[in-house]
């Protein structure tokens, strides 16, 4: 079976590489590849050269261990983080790891005379190349000196492989936690019990250390954590996790080779755990992820949630798309599907609010709430359109259906933009209202009239900002459908990276051009009336800006209609 697996891996890799080379004959891939290669050169190799040059002049390169040295043992801290992630994986299983079989594997390998252990070994082997690629790329992008770059790459590879195998084990075990056979239940619960014990031991140790020496600063807290996990039962509990990241944070080759056996031992134990679990569980229904046509993107079995909104049998085309996209968002959204967006949004908001509050020394819950809400409004209005793809970008895979509909093309584009514009504007308004209510605490120097004027102007500008971004992003989907990914998997390769870079710069430029006239006209209005009515002049300025942007959107979507008619489905990159 090993030879069959290796045959699949080698042939697939060889053919994928040949296909990538062949498609460089097409300009869209060639241009992408040139831009991608240029970026790679300037971002990585050029910087490495500069780094070597400056290194000779006495500037030391950065090492991950140096970065964390101030807070104690780097591997210990990273290990504690891994322990936390390992525990969270049981609550939020984001990755099905090796069980995410491809369509071909399901139809060709599952019916083959292979045991589940052999199937998993095949998946394990098959996952190595992408993980190796990920490790190499990450080692190139991290600013390290030549020798430590190799160590970092190998260390990262071990971490990635270990994580992939661990997620597989979690997926296998989670499905059997309620198994009716006692043996299966025991096998499923054993790793969870061990993990919970480790978490409890570490948590208690950190709590005790903090009670013994209560410190308010971040450095003090980390010092306490370092002490707690560096000795006693907590050190034992953290050891497997610290061992996995040990080679990654090695400061020298001597240290690297000393730590390597520990990491490999943990990896071996995990592999054995997963393969044994697979053997024990193989008599019960499988946990293989079967990709099927029209299965919801979230992967799970979704029920048709009643949202109490029935489509009327008559009305404008735009409202039809509003309803369709709203249904998609409202039915596909749950706690798990929101995590990839909510977590970065919360991190950005909290970091921004903390920095702002530290700079202004505004304290108290009201000030904190106002500042946080303000940053949240910014995140919704500025980053929301990139993340919320329930528009034409998301519907490119349904283009063959949309094209048979008897509707005006410009109405399709406007309709596709309507729901994300509405949803993001409402989110921004909600955040702005919260910020305004508590604004007295965060901005005590501003009088009420000014705060209200600013809030009203921001509320008027929000839909303009959101809609302008969505228009540019949807225009990119219409004009360059081949460069927009239609599935959850983003296209890989140098050419795809170059295409994304070109699109990113194009979108930024188009956005500036779109919003520019409105900002200039609104700015003139605001400037003229500011002397007469003060901050209230911001409101008519924002209204003028909104009107101009709305006019531009109407004009551009009409023009894009013709381009939409010409979109060739054979150009759309299918999954």
Partner 1 sequence: MSLSVQHFTRTYAGSGGSVFTAVDDLSFDVRGGEIVGLIGPNGAGKTTTLRSLAGILRSTAGHISIDGHDIVDDAVAAKRVLAFMPDEPHLFEYLTVAEHLRLMARLFTVVDFEPRARALLEELELTGKERSLPGELSRGMRQKVVIACGLVRPASTLLFDEPLTGLDPVGIRRMRHTIVARARAGACVLLSSHLLHLVEEICTRVIIMDRGRKVADGTVAELASRDDLAVPGSSLEQIFMRVTGQDRDGRIVKSEV
> Between 478 and 536, whose beta carbon lies closer to partner 1?
478
Map the footprint of partner 1 across residues 389-448, applying CB under 8 A: 398-401, 403-408
Question: Binding of partner 1 at residue 487 (CB under 8 A)?
Answer: no
CB-wise, 22 or 276, nearer to partner 1? 22
**Among 325-333, 342-350, 369-377, 487-495, which window interacts with partner 1 (CB under 8 A)?**
325-333
- Which range binds partner 1 by CB under 8 A, 178-186, 286-294, 339-347, 417-425? 286-294
Whose Cβ is closer to partner 1: residue 14's or residue 316's?
A: 316
**Between vectors from CA 215 to CA 211 and to CA 221, what angle results, nearest 5°?**
90
Torsion from C-alpha of 309, 310, 314, 316, nearest 10 degrees: 30
**Is the CB of 272 or the CB of 565 nearer to partner 1?**
565
SS3 labels along 383-398: HHHHHCCCCHHHHHHH
Residues in the interface with partner 1 (CB under 8 A) total 41
Least distance from partner 1 to the Cβ atom of residue 70, Å: 49
For partner 1, which residue of 217, 292, 445, 489 counts as binding (CB under 8 A)? 292
The answer to whether 528 and 449 are in contact (CB under 8 A) is no
Site for partner 1 in 546-575 (CB under 8 A): 565-566, 568-570
382 touching partner 1, by CB under 8 A: no
Give least dist CB 157 to partner 1, A: 34
d(CA 441, CA 445): 9
Could you tell me how many helices (H) and strands (E) the chain has, helices first?
23, 0
Q: Out of 314, 358, 445, 489, name the contact with partner 1 by CB under 8 A.
A: 314
Q: Pick the closer one to partner 1 by CB: 227 or 324.
A: 324
Residues numbered 331 to 350 that lie near partner 1 (CB under 8 A) are: 331-332
DSSP 454-470: HHHHHHHHHHHHHHHHH
Helix (H) or strand (E) holding 574: none
CB of 439 to partner 1, least distance (A): 38
Q: Is 133 in the site for partner 1 (CB under 8 A)?
A: no
- What is the C-alpha separation between 32 and 227, in angstroms, rounded? 50
Query: Exposed (0-12), middle (13-18) or buried (19+): which is 3, by Cβ within 10 Å?
Result: exposed
- Sole binder of partner 1 in the list 60, 91, 182, 313 (CB under 8 A): 313
Secondary structure in 3-state letters for 64-79: HHHHHHCCCCHHHHHH
Segment contacting partner 1 by CB under 8 A, of 35-43, 92-100, 305-313, 503-511? 305-313
Q: Are 365 and 442 in contact (CB under 8 A)?
A: no
- Tell me which stretch binds partner 1 (CB under 8 A): 20-28, 419-427, 492-500, 538-546: 20-28
Task: Based on the shown chain and the rule CB under 8 A, indicate whether residue 28 belongs to the binding site for partner 1.
Answer: no
Distances in whole angstroms, Cα of residue 93 to Cα of each of 111, 170, 175, 331: 27, 8, 11, 20
Pick from 320, 338, 333, 483: which is nearest to 396 by CA?
483
Min dist CB 380 to partner 1, Å, is 22
Cα gap 550→542, rounded to integer Å: 12
Residue 295 in the binding site for partner 1 (CB under 8 A): yes
Residue with the two structure tokens 């990450």:
138
- Which residues would be at the binding site for partner 1 (CB under 8 A)? 22-23, 25-26, 292-297, 301-304, 310-315, 320, 324, 327-328, 331-332, 398-401, 403-408, 565-566, 568-570
């Amino acid at each position: 079976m090993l030879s069959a697996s290796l045959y699949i891996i080698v042939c697939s890799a060889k053919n994928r590489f040949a296909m990538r080379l062949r498609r460089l004959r097409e300009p869209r891939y060639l241009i992408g590849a040139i831009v991608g290669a240029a970026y790679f050169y300037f971002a990585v190799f050029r910087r490495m050269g500069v780094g070597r040059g400056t290194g000779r002049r006495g500037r030391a390169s950065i090492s991950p261990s140096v970065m964390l040295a101030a807070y104690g043992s780097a591997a210990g801290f990273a290990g504690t983080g891994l322990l936390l992630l390992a525990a969270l994986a049981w609550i939020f299983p984001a990755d099905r790891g090796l069980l995410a079989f491809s369509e071909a594997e399901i139809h060709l390998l599952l019916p083959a005379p292979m045991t589940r252990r052999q199937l998993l070994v095949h998946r394990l082997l098959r996952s190595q190349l992408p993980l190796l690629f990920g490790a190499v790329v990450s080692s190139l992008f991290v600013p390290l000196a030549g020798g430590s770059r190799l160590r970092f790459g190998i260390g990262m590879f071990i971490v990635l492989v270990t994580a992939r195998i661990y997620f597989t084990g979690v997926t296998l075990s989670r499905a059997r936690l309620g198994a009716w056979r006692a043996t299966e239940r025991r096998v499923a619960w054993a790793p969870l019990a061990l993990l919970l014990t480790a978490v409890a031991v570490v948590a208690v140790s950190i709590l005790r250390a903090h009670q013994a020496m209560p410190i308010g600063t971040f450095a003090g807290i980390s010092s306490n954590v370092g002490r707690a996990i560096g000795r006693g039962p907590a050190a034992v509990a953290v050891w497997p996790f610290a061992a996995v990241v040990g080679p990654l944070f090695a400061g020298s080759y001597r240290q690297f080779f000393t730590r390597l056996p520990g990491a490999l031992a943990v990896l071996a134990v995990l592999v054995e755990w997963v393969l044994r679990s697979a053997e024990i569980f193989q008599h019960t229904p499988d946990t293989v992820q079967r990709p099927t046509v029209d299965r919801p993107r979230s992967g799970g079995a979704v029920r048709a949630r009643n949202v109490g909104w029935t489509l009327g049998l008559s009305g404008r085309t735009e409202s039809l798309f509003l309803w369709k996209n709203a249904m998609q968002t409202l039915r596909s959204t749950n706690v798990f599907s929101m995590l990839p967006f909510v977590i970065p949004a919360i991190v950005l908001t909290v970091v921004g609010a903390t920095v702002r509050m530290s700079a202004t020394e505004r304290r108290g819950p009201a000030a904190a709430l106002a500042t946080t809400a303000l940053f949240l409004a910014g995140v919704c209005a500025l980053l929301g359109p990139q993340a919320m793809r329930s528009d034409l970008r998301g519907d490119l895979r349904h283009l063959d259906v949309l094209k048979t509909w008897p509707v005006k093309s410009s109405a399709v584009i406007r309709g596709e933009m309507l729901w994300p514009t509405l949803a993001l504007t409402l989110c921004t308004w909600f955040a702005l209202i919260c910020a305004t209510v508590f604004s007295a605490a965060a901005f005590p120097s501003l009088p009420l009239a000014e705060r209200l004027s600013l809030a009203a102007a921001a509320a008027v500008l929000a839909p303009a900002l959101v809609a302008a971004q969505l228009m540019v992003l949807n225009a990119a989907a219409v004009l360059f459908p081949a460069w927009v990914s239609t599935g959850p998997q983003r296209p890989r390769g140098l050419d795809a990276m170059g295409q994304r870079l070109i699109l990113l710069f194009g979108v930024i430029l188009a956005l500036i051009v779109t919003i520019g006239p409105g900002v200039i006209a609104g700015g003139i209005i605001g400037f003229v009336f500011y002397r007469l009515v003060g901050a209230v002049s911001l409101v008519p300025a924002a209204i003028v800006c909104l009107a101009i942007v709305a006019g531009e959107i109407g004009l551009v979507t009409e023009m894009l209609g013709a381009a939409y008619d010409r979109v060739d489905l054979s150009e759309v990159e299918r999954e």
